Amino acid sequence: MLYEITKGSVSLGGETILDHIDFYIKGREKAALVGRNGSGKTTLLRLLAGELSPDRDDKHHDSGLWMARKTSIGMLSQSAFTAEELAQTVETLVMEGCPSDDPWSEEYGSYAVEFGRIFAGLGFTRTDMSRQVVTFSGGEQTRIALIRLLLTKPDILLLDEPTNHLDLEAVMWLEEYLLAWQGALVLVSHDRFFLDRIVDVVWELRDGKVTRYAGNYSSYREARRKQQTRQERSYKNQQQEIQRLTALIDKYKHKPRKASMARSKKKVLERMVKVEKPLPDQTAIFTEPVIPAKPGPKRVITADKLKIGYDHPLKEITFTLRRGQKIGMIGANGTGKTTFLKTVAGILPPLSGTCLQGQGVSAGYYDQMSARTGSDQRVLEHFSKKFPLMPLQDVRKVLGRYLFSGEDAAKRLSDLSGGELSRLYLAELLQSCPNLLLLDEPTNHMDIPAKETLESAFKMYGGTMLFISHDRYFIKEIATSLLIFEEDKVLYYPFGYEHYLEALRKEKERGADQKAAILAENARIVQELHAVPDRKRMQSARLNTDQSYTDWQLQLASEALEKAAASLSLLLSERDHLPAASASEYEENCRSWKKRFEEKMSDYHDLCLVWYDKYTDYEYAFYSYRE
C-alpha cells in the first residue's frame, strides 16, 4: 500500500465535499476518478497532493491519512510557472530538474534524451526548446509543465485532464507513455477512450462518497449498471415485504389470538436490514429503436469528383453514402471535414463536380451554432411548441430520456449551458425522425452522462449518419466505417475505429508506409467479407434478374481485387531484396520501388471501394429477393 485515506472528510466554504471516504492506492495501480462536475474529483486530487488537509474528526479516532515512507507525489499545478520561470527558455527550465549537473554524466545524458522524447511526443519541435516559456500559449505552457512533471518520475502521479490541449497524435503518444509508467497513477479525464486504455481501477465519486470498481472505464460502466439493477430490484422487493408485514401487524395487533403473531412480525420488521433507495442513474440508456419516419433511398448521398472549399478547392471526393451506414469523419483540423459536411447538407455549394441526395432523403443537420438561442422559454414549453401534437405527458417522458426531467425541464433556455442546449437540440432532431443525420461535433461541452445518453440514442437510431467527432470513444461506439481526411486526399476505411487503430499500431511496429500497411492488412479481411452465399445452396432458389446481375458484377470485382492483392503482396516481398551494388544505386532502387508501390496501393484502394460498392448492391438484391 502506497497511500490510504480512512474515513476522510473535506469541507470547503462550509459545504462537505468528501464525506468520511475510504480510499487507497497500492503498487503500480492506474486509477481514474469519475463523477459529475462538482462531485469532488479535483478536491480529492488536491487532498492526495497535500494541498488540502482532511477535516478534524473527534468521533472517529481511526480516521486520517497514511503514506508509505519515501513516497513522492507529483501533481500538475494550476499555476504552473512563476514570473521568473516564464522568462527562461524551455530547455533551461526543464533541465534544472536534472539530478546531475555534469553534462558528461550518464545520468544527465539519460535525462536529456528522455526530455527530448517527451517533448517531441507532445507535439513540440526541436527549435521550441530555445524559446522562452512566456512565448507559448496557455495550453502549450500546460504541456511544458506536464513534461517537467513526468521527468521527475514521482511514485504517485496525479493528472487532472491531461489530454486537454493535445491533438490526437499527442494523446495517442501520451497513452503509450503512461501505459509504460512504472509508478502509480491517479487521473481525472473526460476522455473515456483514454481511460479505457490506461486505467485498471475506477473510483466513482457520488454524493460525497467514493466506490471502487476493478477494471477500465467500460468495465466500470457495465458493473455500475448491473449494480443499479440489482439494488433497484432488492429495494422494490423489500418495500413490498415491508408493506406486507405492516399490513399484517395493523390487521392483527388488536386481536388477542393473533397479537403474538403481530408482535413477532413487528420484531422481524425492526431487525430487517434496510436496503437503501438507489439514486437515479445519471445516464438514461435507450433500449428501443429510434426509427426514421421514412426509410429513405438505398443511395443516400452520391458525390462524384466533388471539389469542396470556399475560394479554392480543399479536396476532391468521390463517395457514396448508403442507407444505414454510420460513418465517422476523422482527421486534423483544417483538412476539410466541416466543409464537406456543409456541402453535403447543401449549406455550401460545390466548387465543381456533383453532390446529390437520393429521392426521399430527409436530413437533420447539427453544428455548434445550431443550438444557440436567446429565448427565455422554458425547456418544456419550447419542446411542446416544436411538437404540438404530442401530449404533455409524452413530452415530459421524451425530455426525461434526454436528462431533462423535474427541475431541468423547467429551466429557461437562456440559463442552459452549451452542453445542455446541444443536448436539447439533438433531442429535437432525433424526435423529428429524419432518415439522415449530419452532425458536427455533437457531444462537445457535454459531461459523460450526457454523452452516454446520446450514444445510446444514436446506437438505436435506424437511419444513416455522417458525423465529425474528436471524441474517440464516441467514434468507436457509433461509427461502422470511417472517412479519413488527410492533407492531400480523403480515404474511405470500411471498418470501425478500433480496427483502424490496430492497423496503425501494427504499421508502426513494421515501420512501413502508413496507408500501405493499413490496406495490405485489410486484404485478408476483405477476402472474408466477399465470401457471398454458396452457389450450391442457392441453386434450389430461382434468382431474379437483379440478383443474377449483381452476383456477376461482384464476382468480377472480387477477381480484380484478388489480382491487385496478389500483385501488391509480390511487390512487398521484393522490398527486402532490392539490388544494392552501391549506396546511390540502392537509393534509386528504393525510390523506384516506392513509386511503383504507391501506384499499386492507389489501385488497390480504388478496387476495394469498387468491391464494397458491388457487395452492397449484391446484399441489397439478395435480401430484397428473400423478402
CA atoms of 34 and 216, how far apart (whole Å) = 11
pLDDT the model gives residue 256: 86
Q: Does 282 or 456 have the greater pLDDT score?
A: 456
Confidence of residue 28 (pLDDT cuts 50, 70, 90): very high
Confidence of residue 627 (pLDDT cuts 50, 70, 90): very low
Q: What total of structural domains would you count in the chain?
A: 4
Confidence of residue 185 (pLDDT cuts 50, 70, 90): very high
> Whole-number mean pLDDT of the chain?
84
Q: Are residues 602 and 462 in the same domain?
A: no
Confidence of residue 163 (pLDDT cuts 50, 70, 90): confident
Give the mean model confidence (pLDDT) for residues 423-442.
94
Q: Are residues 236 and 329 in the same domain?
A: no
Residue entry with cell 439533438: 426
Instruction: Say if 552 falls within a structural domain.
Output: yes
Q: Are residues 451 and 372 in the same domain?
A: yes
pLDDT in tens, 100-132: 888 899 999 999 999 999 999 998 999 999 999
Alpha helices in 253-283 (DSSP H): 259-271
- Residue 513 clears pLDDT 60, i.e. is over it: no
Instruction: Say if 283 falls within a structural domain.
Output: no
Closest by Cα among 482, 554, 556 to 522: 482
Q: Are residues 142 and 233 in the same domain?
A: no
Alpha carbon separation from 148 to 30, 65, 76, 90 (Å, rounded): 20, 27, 9, 10
Per cent of the chain over pLDDT 90 is 47
pLDDT the model gives residue 581: 64
pLDDT in tens, 3-15: 999 999 999 888 8
pLDDT the model gives residue 195: 95
Q: Are residues 191 and 258 in the same domain?
A: no
Please give the model's pTM, rounded to 2 decimal places: 0.73
Least confident interval from 96-105, 264-273, 506-515 = 506-515
CA atoms of 347 and 344, how far apart (whole Å) = 8
Instruction: Say if 373 falls within a structural domain.
Output: yes
- Residue 415 clears pLDDT 60, i.e. is over it: yes
pLDDT the model gives residue 552: 63
Confidence of residue 550 (pLDDT cuts 50, 70, 90): low
Q: Are residues 240 and 379 in the same domain?
A: no
Q: Does 406 or 328 have the greater pLDDT score?
A: 328
Instruction: Say if 278 falls within a structural domain.
Output: no
Q: Are residues 161 and 245 in the same domain?
A: no
Instruction: Say if 291 falls within a structural domain.
Output: no
Instruction: Say if 293 falls within a structural domain.
Output: no
pLDDT the model gives residue 14: 83
Q: Are residues 466 and 556 in the same domain?
A: no
Confidence of residue 516 (pLDDT cuts 50, 70, 90): low
Q: Does 472 or 614 have the greater pLDDT score?
A: 472
Q: Are residues 177 and 243 in the same domain?
A: no
Burial of 4 by CB count in 10 Å (0-12 exposed, 13-18 middle, 19+ buried)? middle
pLDDT the model gives residue 540: 35
pLDDT in tens, 362-411: 999 998 787 777 678 899 999 999 999 999 999 999 999 999 988 889 99
Q: Are residues 203 and 247 in the same domain?
A: no
Q: Are residues 236 and 216 in the same domain?
A: no
Instruction: Say if 279 falls within a structural domain.
Output: no
Least confident interval from 215-229, 347-361, 420-434, 492-506 = 492-506
Q: Does 562 or 392 have the greater pLDDT score?
A: 392
- Residue 69 clears pLDDT 70, i.e. is over it: yes
User: Phi and psi (nearest 5°) for 188?
Assistant: -115, 130
Give the mean model confidence (pLDDT) for residues 239-253.
91
Residues spanned by the domain of 322: 299-493
Q: Are residues 485 and 579 in the same domain?
A: no
pLDDT in tens, 572-600: 777 767 776 666 777 777 778 778 877 87
Instruction: Say if 77 falls within a structural domain.
Output: yes
CA atoms of 488 and 314, how far apart (whole Å) = 8
- Residue 535 clears pLDDT 80, i.e. is over it: no
